[in-house]
Chain A
Amino acid sequence: MPMNWETFFLDNLSLIERVAAFVCRKYGLSGADAEDFASASKLKLIEDDYAVMRKFEQKCSLATYLTVVIQRHYLDQKIHEWGKWRPSMRARQGGDAAIFLERLISRDGLGIAEASTIVRQKFTELDARALERLAASIVVRQPRRQSSVERTEEMREPASEASAEEELLSGEREVAARRAGAVLSRELDRLPPEDRLIMKLRFIDAMKVSTMARMLQADQKQLYRRIDRLVATLREALLAAGVAMSDIGDMLTHGADALHINFTVPDPAPGKVPS
């Protein structure tokens, strides 16, 4: 292991900067925000006499280690800023505006119309249609501290320029989605941890099966078959629970996000939210 940690740090500075830039891209940071984060990441690695670097035992590649460390640093920063809320994978892929929109809806409990107005004020380059597409693309999860009454109100909130019929259909789809989501969450909880993880990696994170096979140290072909079996099991459970086939097809072919599925551990009751 290197004895001169400053040299080690400087030798790997370009890698550190690439990792920080990667994390910025993942979380939609750009401009000054990205520069600030890159600087903060370097400071994190330097502080306490390169404690983070000294902890590295070369059991994995430095690139992988730094990706985990720097991203964890980002998440720690955001815990202070946002609380425990995290942007969904889909919002992260959509960049700053998508994350901001999702944050307003999921964390702060605003309705789509209200949140969209606020996003337009910050991201003036977005026109109404772009914002509509953005709202449709992100995961609209239940706000952490929202009561059931508020949730019902939100479901009834009319979308801009939507006809009464569209609104009704949208509401029905929403109800079906939530029902399917509840059943799916329950069935996932019943799976062994590795199966549960496989389903999340595949359908929430859209991870390639080859990558999953490497991580899980599994044979790729067998993993494909295993995923097929798990999907079949979940499909049966959903059908048994009376969830429509069309909803299942949508969910299992386009990923859980398409149905607003919440795969996470259920939120604690209001008033018991962890800090």
Chain B
Amino acid sequence: MLLAHPEAENLGRFVEGTLDEPERAAIVQHIADCDDCRMLVVDAAEFIEPAKTESHKWWMGIAAAAVLVAVIGTLTYHQRRDPEVPLIETSSHLRARLTEERLAGFSYGALNRMRGSRENDDPAGWRLDEEIGKVLERRGDNAKTLHARGIAHLLAASRATETDEIKAERTDSVAALKAAVDRAPDNAAYQTDLAAALLVTGNQTNRDLALSHLKKALAIDRRNPEALFNQAIALRDSDPKAAIAAFKSYLAVDSSSQWAKEARQNLENLQDGL
């Protein structure tokens, strides 16, 4: 026998994949046999993520070209205005990424488990060192510049080989990113990157602080992939069960990228360890 129809908001949360397990299971139980509610769910999913069934329409080529022009235009604009862009661009050519934690806007790179080890034979690394230097020379104390400086210090810490140098760069990174967050607290990317910088220190107190910043980032944008990913990483060592839930939350918003593959590997390791 079917129970009463679920609340509209719970169906909405089901569509968006944000329900906790007992609520999710209850909705599944209901809509497995309630055609009306299943229809609502199917249509809501289509509304928020329109079906891409009509490919090869003539106007799609034009639209794609327009998007491409827009993207190139935006990139050029950002390169002129955003000092972080050269860091992101150069980092994308590295053989391995520099921090396990995700940094906002950075593309995927395989993880380099040897933290602090500079790959001296990687030409992209030399270019990155140059770009880091340029960013650190920039003046200004607006949020964007401070954020870029914080990221530059963080990357510099990951490229450094001397313990003191690593420590100093990490400290500067946290300070600059914290200043950026103070100026723009509603920026989820800044909150996430500050959390990443705190997590990189490996300090327990900083880890808790990082989690609070990630919470703020998710309050601003609850589907923020970097925040969800970093939250899972932050919880991995101290609270495996919470980390499992956090990796699942991440996979609910990104199930197919290389990041997702890494998240899934983490998830399997955690589940095996329980």
Cβ-defined contact, B24 with A193, below 8 A: no
What are the residues of chain B within 8 A of A211 when measuring CB–CB?
A: 45, 49
Cβ-defined contact, A217 with B17, below 8 A: yes
Cβ-defined contact, B47 with A200, below 8 A: no
Pick from A56, A57, A86, A207: contact of B45, CB under 8 Å:
A207
A269 at the interface (CB under 8 A from B): no
What is the interface size of chain A, counting residues whose CB is below 8 A from a CB of the partner? 41
Please, how many angstroms separate the alpha-carbon atoms of A205 and B41 in the complex? 10
B256 at the interface (CB under 8 A from A): yes
Known: A59-B12, A219-B255. A205 touches B38 (CB 8 A): yes
* Contact digits for B36-59, partner A, Cβ 8 Å, 1 yes 0 no: 101111111101110100000000
Interface-centre pick from A23, A86, A215 (highest chain B CB count, 10 A) = A215
Please, how many angstroms separate the alpha-carbon atoms of A213 and B252 in the complex? 7
Please, how many angstroms separate the alpha-carbon atoms of A65 and B9 in the complex? 6
Cβ-defined contact, B38 with A201, below 8 A: yes
Interface-centre pick from A64, A65, A200, A205 (highest chain B CB count, 10 A) = A64
Pick from B36, B38, B44, B253: contact of A64, CB under 8 Å:
B44
What is the interface size of chain B, counting residues whose CB is below 8 A from a CB of the partner? 42
* Contact digits for B1-45, partner A, Cβ 8 Å, 1 yes 0 no: 000010111111111111100001100110111011011111111
Known: A211-B49, A214-B252. A71 touches B24 (CB 8 A): no
Chain B: residues with CB nearer than 8 A to chain A? 5, 7-19, 24-25, 28-29, 31-33, 35-36, 38-45, 47-49, 51, 248, 251-253, 255-256, 264
User: What are the 5 A-B residue pairs with the smallest beta carbon separation, nearest first?
Assistant: A60-B12, A193-B32, A64-B12, A197-B32, A67-B44
Other A-B pairs beyond A60-B12, A214-B16, 20, CB < 8 Å: A26-B43, A57-B9, A59-B9, A59-B12, A59-B18, A63-B47, A64-B48, A68-B11, A68-B44, A71-B39, A71-B44, A72-B8, A72-B40, A75-B36, A194-B25, A214-B17, A216-B28, A217-B251, A219-B251, A264-B35
> Can you pick out 27 interface pairs between chain A and chain B where the beta carbons lie within 8 Å of each other?
A22-B47, A57-B9, A59-B12, A59-B18, A60-B12, A64-B44, A65-B8, A67-B48, A68-B11, A69-B8, A71-B39, A71-B40, A72-B36, A72-B40, A75-B39, A75-B40, A89-B39, A89-B42, A194-B25, A194-B28, A200-B38, A210-B255, A214-B17, A214-B255, A217-B251, A217-B252, A219-B255
